[in-house]
Structure formats: C-alpha cells, structure tokens
Amino acid sequence: MPSLAYHDTAWAGGYHRHMTDTKTEPATGSRSGGSTSTTADTRPYSPGLEGVIGAESAIGLVDGANGRLLYRGYPIGELVEKGTYAAVAELLWTGEWHPDARLAPEPVPGPVLTALRELPRDASPMDALRTAVSVWGAMQRLAFPPTPEDARALTAFSPSALAAFGRLRQGLEPVQPDRSLSLAGAFLQQLNGERPDAAAAKALEAYFIVAGEHGLNASTFTARVITATRSDLASAVCGAIGALKGPLHGGAPSEVVSQLHEIGSPERAEAWIKDTLDRGERLMGFGHRVYRAYDPRAAALRKVAEGMAGMADWLSLAVKVEDIALRVLAERHPDRVLKTNVEYYTAAVLQGVGLPPELYPATFGLARHAGWTAHAIEQAGANRLIRPDMRYTGPEERHLPD
C-alpha cells in the first residue's frame, strides 16, 4: 500500500528528516529516542471518502444499480402514491407507518421574523433559511439527544420561515400559516398569500416526499457529524443547509427550466442537444453519481407532473426532449448509463406549482428536513464522535531561525 513515511537520518551535527513515498518501509529512529516523532502512514486514503462506509443506517436505501429508493423498506413510488409528507417524515423518524400523521405548519416566532427583516432582499434564500433555523434554535434551548418531537417542531417551522422570506424579498408582509393545510400547502399559502390550488399543494407534497431522504449525502453526513459531537438538532440542520447550498449538492433544477426554455420546441431539441454535447457541456437533469438506472425519484415525479393541470405543453416538450436526450446520450456514451435524474422532473413540478426558481434549492432543503433530522436521531441513538484520520503531507518539524 503506497504511503508517505518519514525517515530520520543521522548526520554529523544533527538530524535530517525527509518524506518519501514508500510501500512498506516502517518508521525508524527518532530525534529524542522516543517513538512520537516518527510516522509511517500506511493506511488507505479515499478522496471524498468514496467507498468508505461512514455510518450504519436503517433509514433509507439508495440502490443505484437497480434504480431503487426505499424509505425504511418502502419503495418511494408507493410512498408518493399512498402517503403524505407528515406520514413519511414520521416513518423516517420513528420507523413506524402512521398514514394519518399530521404535521401542522408553525408560525414564525418574532425574533426569527426580525432577523429575516434585517437581511438584504437579495440575500440567497438558502442563507435566509439557515439564518432562520439558527435563530429558532437559539430560542428553543434544544438538548442532546435530538428527539422526534424536536424534529417535528423544526420541520413544521422551516417552511413558514422560508415563505416569510419569500414575501419579504418581494417587499410583501409575511402571512400566518393556515394550520388546516398540509406543510407543503401552507408553504404555498404563506408564499402567495392565498389558499393554494389543492392539486398544486398535492404535487408539492409529492416533491417533499421524494426529496425527503437520500442516504449519506454531503448534507446528511454533515448533520450526523454535528450531532455526533452531542450538539443540538438546530445546529445540525444549520450545518446541513450550509452543505446543501453548494452547487455540487443542492443541484439546479432551475437550469433544467432554462434548458427547456432555450430548446423551445421538440423540433429544435436534437440539434440543440448535439450542439451542447459537442461543446463539451452537460445536459442538465441527466446522469447521476449513484444511479445506473432511471432515477426512481424522477419516475415518481414524472407521474405527478403528468397529473398536473396546465402542464400539458411544457410537459409534452419535457417528455420529447427527454426521449431525444436519452437516445443521444446512449449513442455518445455507450459504456456509461446516463439516465434521467430527479432534477429533470423536479423542474416540471416546481415550475408547475408556480414556485420562483430562486427558491428551488431552499425548497429542496425544506423537504430534506425529514431525512436530516431522522439521521440526527439515529446518530445520537448509537453515538460515536465522527473523527476520521488525516494523512499529513506538510513539512517535517523545522525551526524558526535564531
């Protein structure tokens, strides 16, 4: 196994140390005669922790080879068809299926509203959401370990906070949640200041379910790392939002929307796709690090989009572009399975419910609250501080000039 090792070499007048790449050589000697100043680091290193198992979890299974996503054993398609976000979140938190579970939207407390009012209107909605969770956490005095009760309270608060910022950034006053609505429905109601269309609320609810949990991704890992220090749930979720904000994680379904706008009509699709690939650019909404099959979340959301009123033209364009894109990608990459990913039909659903594209990433964050908090609870239940090792590649001990 290749590794960097330090070798102490005695020479007249002192010790000289240097680093070499070696496969087997053990550390030898030391400056003081003890063993602490010599390191032979032969342990494997996996950049990005790829292939490293960082947790054991009973929450969700991402089966990339077979295109399956299970929450506590249940396929995502069934959960979207038969469940609500409240029931699915409860399932993730407790492992039990309560189809009648309710999660009433919580109003935004005064100090959180004050903080949101202080933000510049053009602040990123993701920053606003993180700020809101942080202020909320400061008011709650949450203790370790996190509980399903904490998870319910936070998950029920955050959509109201994001909706409040969604209005403030447009110069509008926040409105109180209608507690008779579902969480997704009340998010739309607080954003638009009116009761949402029932079909739109149901479609957004489906998106919340689909985006609720996805294994040990970067933000979920962040939430587990923070929880493992015995910190509180709001801190874990603030960190998770920070991780999700990065474009490599939070994705950009809004880019799928721009892509379809640019294509404009099915007749232009093939030429546009080929030109884009010829320029070395990627098609948004295709390919995935884990799935080597059609992303099951895209399949579930496509069904939802198909059932949405007013989507006919846009959806028929999306479906035709998808067919052409899949064919061209298969021709260009015969050895690599590149299928539709969740972002493609997320774009359809979020556009269909009338959400402004700037809110897409933070809305993803709202949906992922269920998964983040479920992982925090699970981590705390069998806790061990997460503290990986590091291979030092800097200079050997040296001394400042006299």
Ligand X SMILES: CC(C)(COP(=O)(O)OP(=O)(O)OC[C@H]1O[C@@H](n2cnc3c(N)ncnc32)[C@H](O)[C@@H]1OP(=O)(O)O)[C@@H](O)C(=O)NCCC(=O)NCCS
Per-residue interface string for the shown chain with ligand X, residues 180-219, x marking contact by CB under 6 A:
----------------------------------------
The C-alpha angle with vertex 91 and arms to 88 and 97, in degrees rounded to 5, equals 95
Q: Which residue is nearest to ligand X (CB)?
A: 287
- The Cα–Cα gap between 277 and 254 comes to 19
Instruction: Name which of 193, 181, 191 is nearest 161 in CA terms.
Output: 191
* Strands (DSSP E) found in 131-283: none
CB of 64 to ligand X, least distance (A): 10
Catalytic residue at 343?
yes
User: Which of the ranges 142-150, 265-273, 339-347, 355-363 carries the binding residues for ligand X, by CB under 6 A?
Assistant: 339-347
User: Which of the ranges 52-60, 262-270, 312-320, 340-348 carries the binding residues for ligand X, by CB under 6 A?
Assistant: 340-348
CB of 116 to ligand X, least distance (A): 29
Catalytic residue at 333?
no
> What is the number of alpha carbons within 13 Å of residue 349 lying toward its C-beta?
32
Output 196 or 251, the one with its CB closest to ligand X: 251
Output 69 or 200, the one with its CB closest to ligand X: 69
State the burial class of residue 48 (Cβ atoms within 10 Å of its Cβ: 0-12, 13-18, 19+). exposed
Which positions from 259 through 278 interact with ligand X, judged by CB under 6 A? 277
Cα 12 to Cα 9, 20, 31, 32, distances in angstroms: 10, 21, 14, 16
CB of 77 to ligand X, least distance (A): 18
- The Cα–Cα gap between 178 and 200 comes to 16
Catalytic residue, chosen from 90, 213, 322, 343, is: 343
Q: Cβ distance 66 to 293 under 8 Å?
A: yes
Per-residue interface string for the shown chain with ligand X, residues 216-255, x marking contact by CB under 6 A:
-----------------------------------x----
Terminal-to-terminal C-alpha distance of the chain: 40
CB of 290 to ligand X, least distance (A): 8
Output 92 or 325, the one with its CB closest to ligand X: 325
Output 40 or 326, the one with its CB closest to ligand X: 326
User: Which of the ranges 22-30, 88-96, 163-171, 335-343 carries the binding residues for ligand X, by CB under 6 A?
Assistant: 335-343
In the set 238, 343, 362, 366, which binds ligand X (CB under 6 A)? 343
341 forms part of the interface with ligand X (CB under 6 A): yes
Output 210 or 234, the one with its CB closest to ligand X: 210
What are the residue ranges of helices labelled H in 54-124? 76-82, 85-94, 110-118
Catalytic residue, chosen from 288, 322, 369, 378, is: 288
128 forms part of the interface with ligand X (CB under 6 A): no
Per-residue interface string for the shown chain with ligand X, residues 276-315, x marking contact by CB under 6 A:
-x----xxxxxxxx--------------------------
Counting residues that bind ligand X (by CB under 6 A) gives 16
DSSP β-bridge partners for residue 10:
15
User: How many CB atoms are located within 10 Å of the residue 298 CB?
Assistant: 26
Q: Cβ distance 92 to 76 under 8 Å?
A: no
Output 224 or 288, the one with its CB closest to ligand X: 288
Output 177 or 361, the one with its CB closest to ligand X: 361
Output 268 or 333, the one with its CB closest to ligand X: 333
Q: Cβ distance 254 to 359 under 8 Å?
A: no
Q: Cβ distance 155 to 370 under 8 Å?
A: yes
* Sequence-distant (≥ 6) Cβ neighbours of residue 183 within 8 angstroms: 85, 86, 103, 105, 155, 156, 159, 205, 208
CB of 282 to ligand X, least distance (A): 4
Helices 198-210 and 360-381: crossing angle in degrees, nearest 10, is 50
Which positions from 24 through 83 interact with ligand X, judged by CB under 6 A? none
User: In the complex, which residues of this chain contact ligand X (CB under 6 A)?
Assistant: 251, 277, 282-289, 333, 336, 338, 341-343
Q: Which residues are catalytic?
A: 288, 343
